[in-house]
Every structure is written in structure tokens, then in C-alpha cells.
Chain A
């Protein structure tokens, strides 16, 4: 590894064992490995609000610490001014699947050339544990002691139908695999989406469950250029049935090339 120092002096305030550490580590490794081809000053990271958002304080790169749900639009604005910028948005499941869902769908529809990494812990944790759009119906949160009266959405399926040209799922507990996904997403020309299963050790600890049930698409002979196959894989797990026979695919579901928003504007 080169001597790239991506650390800041900010004190890390995530809970010990938080899934966010895995995402931070994987991203730092990805940036180090990409730093030979991408000057560090060309990176811009942005985040929304939630535990995930703190990540921009911990990384010594250009950053825009946005408000809840809006980070991807800040990045789109930057890209329209300077297309040399490598834009990565760290967003949360409450952040971008609830508050900012319209922005996520449109970033995908436009094929804006940026990467969205969703810290999907399936819980509003910084606000001490309410259900989010990807919480299962048995999630007993502070606002829904009996579980939410609605079923979770499947963001992978949503992104496939919205027109994202790079759709992946990662697991914060598998850092080398996630690092490769992040590298591939950054290198992809167009809108890259990674839903990262990120256990929250305090409000929804899913580490053991994901370890047991995740399998890798690239090891299962999946063809990421086949849209129908991608949809089929995306439907294998619906974010609700955390059952014993669940199979959760991680890896790249879908990847194609299309002109980007910035090229077409």
C-alpha cells in the first residue's frame, strides 16, 4: 500500500463494532488502490444525515456534508460544473430510501455519473431506532412497538427499474468484496448504486444472519449484462423474510454502458 493518509483528526463516534467501520475501511482501501490513476483532489464525497453521514468527517477528501436525503443532488450539481470530479455519495437507508427517494430514482434515471453507496442498516439509528423503508415487518422500533404496518421495499429491484446502469449489493462484513464493488462502481461510467448491508450493532444486529445467508453472484455464474437475470436475482430476497432458508445475493446484479447525464446536458 502507498502512504496515502485519508484520516482526519475527527474523533470517530460510531458504536464499537458498527457496520459503518467496514464501509469506511473498504472505501479507504478502494481509494488507495485507485489513487495511482485518480488524483486525490478530484475525489468529492458527500453524505446525508444519519450515523452513515459522519463518514465524511473521517475521510480527508473534499466533502459536502449535506442534509437528510439530498446528497446525490449536490453531487449532480458538482458534476455538471466539473466532470473531472469523482463523486461518491454515502447515503443511508432512511436518508435516501425515505426522505430522498425521488432524488435517488432520478439520479438513476438520468444516469448521472456518480456512485451512491447506501449504508443500509435497516434502522434509523442516530434517532435511536425507528423502522426505515428496508426494515422487515417484524422490526420492533420505538415508533412501531409491534412492528411497522407496512412491508419493506426492495431497493435493488427499484434501481433496476429506475434505469441505474450499475446495480450492486455489498456486505459491510466482507470488506475485501465490498472494496472491489466500490472500485468497480467508481470506475463505472454512469450511475452506480451499491446497497450495502450494514448491521447496526445497537438497534438491529444482523452480522451473524448476513454471514450465514449471503452468497456471491460472481461465484454463482450470474451474468450482469442480463437484465432479466438481474431482476430474478434481485427478487431472491425481499428484505422482509429474514428466515432460515433465505438466500441473499451480493455482488454486481447489473452493469451496462449508456451515455451519462453530464454528456447529454
Chain B
């Protein structure tokens, strides 16, 4: 199975590991991530201005490219996934944005939201299947108590993201079980890490991440996993906090391709 793949800027710089482990794991699981040619930055945040169009165009380019290849589009970074999935929804459902974006882009075939956008975790759940993943685990992470950290971008707005229950998600817990470890459920796993506020108000971001860290360790977690480079950065600012890893790192480890990935 071949998917179009949109890595995003951070995965080429700060979060190379998130990307490398995902690619190696995909190979081990029997699917291929074909990086989109000439992709551009997603913009990092979904523009909330109703008439904003320019910052949505890079998403439309990626989406149209996947459509032209007849492939589903896979993302990995939470922020990229959020932006691209919402722009896709706009292209499908908001006449004004679709018309203006297409007028600007002048594509051979106008784009109208035809591409299906999947987060890497959704590929694991809905295409590979966690039962199937479990069978391919060669190095189960038995005994590890892992707290899943979702953040907000994958879950909300839930009617567009359709990722999981925004108040009580379970996809990461199911993932943790599939790789042989024990999930630790704690109430702040879907609370905001502070996002970009850490650039401006370090203290406030610190309070937010401290709450998450304390709750997770209070319930017995030994580490946190996430899909988001910014969440990982913020959560790692807590002094003496739990280590925060990308979920793909544990996946690669469980599949026995961790070293190969970093080679």
C-alpha cells in the first residue's frame, strides 16, 4: 500500500526522529510513505480569519497532489494534520474558499476536497489495524507504563477532525497496548500544552505543562508519548518531568527497526 506523505518543516529539522521512526516502521508494517514533491510549509496554525486564503494554499497543493496520484494523504505532525484536514474540509464544504482557492491555483483539475487525509495513527488503527500491528511486534515493551498525551490539535474541532472522542480519546492507549506496554489514563491527556504561548509567556505555558506532567506521574506513568513536536518541546520544559517521546520511536522499537531507522 502506498500513501502520499506530507512530513512538514519541523520533521525536517527539530523533529527528524519523529519522521525517521515513522518511515522505518511503515516499511516494517508493509506500507510506503511517498513524500509529496515540492511540499510547502502548512503555515503551522489554521488561519481563523474567515477571508484568509493565502495561507491555505500550500495545503491545497499537497491535497491536490495526493488526489492526482490517486492516494490518501498521510501526515504525522499534529499541527500539519490539523491545518491540512481543516483546509480539506473547507475545500469540500465552503463554497467561497473553494472558488477563491481554485481561482488562485489554476490547477488542471480544480480541487474540491476529494483527498482523504489520514494521520499516521489513523493508518495504524484503520488501515493496518492494532491487532495486525500487535502480531508484527518483535520486541514488546512489556511492563512499561506509558501515558498518552494527545494535546488539542488532533482532537478538535471533533466534527472536522473525526479523530477520536475529544473528551475521552483512546487511540493512543490502544496503540500502547498493541506494542505490549501498559497505558496510564490520566485526565489531562487532552488538555492544551500551551502551544505557541511558550514563546511569549513562559510562565503560563509552564503552569499548563506542569499540571499535565504532575497528573500523568501521579497516576503512575513512567513516560509520555506524543505525536506533536511542539507539545513534546513544551512538556520537556518541566523540571524533573517525565521523559516525552514520539510515539513513532516506541513503535520502531517494538517493531525492531529503531537502529535501522536512525542509521
Do the two chains bind? no
